[in-house]
Amino acid sequence: MSAIYPGSFDPVTNGHIDIARRSARIMGHLIVAVLDNPHKKPLFSVSERVSLLRDVFSRDSNIEVDSFTGLLANYAQSKNIQVIIRGIRGPEDLVKETPYAVWNNQLAKGLAQSLETLYFTAKPTLAHISSSIVKEVAAYSIPSGQHDAVLAQAVPPTVHEALKVKFSK
Q: How far apart are CA 28 and CA 45, in angstroms?
A: 29
Active-site pick, 40, 41, 59, 169: 40
Q: How far apart are CA 134 and CA 93, in angstroms?
A: 17
Scored b (16 or more CB within 10 A) or e, 44-72 reads bebebbbebbeebbeebeebbbebbeeeb
Name the nearest CA neighbour of 72 among 97, 49, 41.
97
**Which of these is catalytic: 8, 49, 86, 89?**
89
Q: Of 16, 49, 135, 160, which is the active-site residue? A: 16
Residue 29 falls in the annotated catalytic set: no
Out of 23, 49, 131, 135, the active site residue is 131
Q: Is 16 a catalytic residue?
A: yes
21 catalytic, yes or no?
A: no
54 as an active site residue: the answer is no
The backbone torsions φ and ψ at residue 121, rounded to the nearest 5 degrees and listed phi first, read -80, 145
Catalytic residue numbers read 16, 40, 89, 131
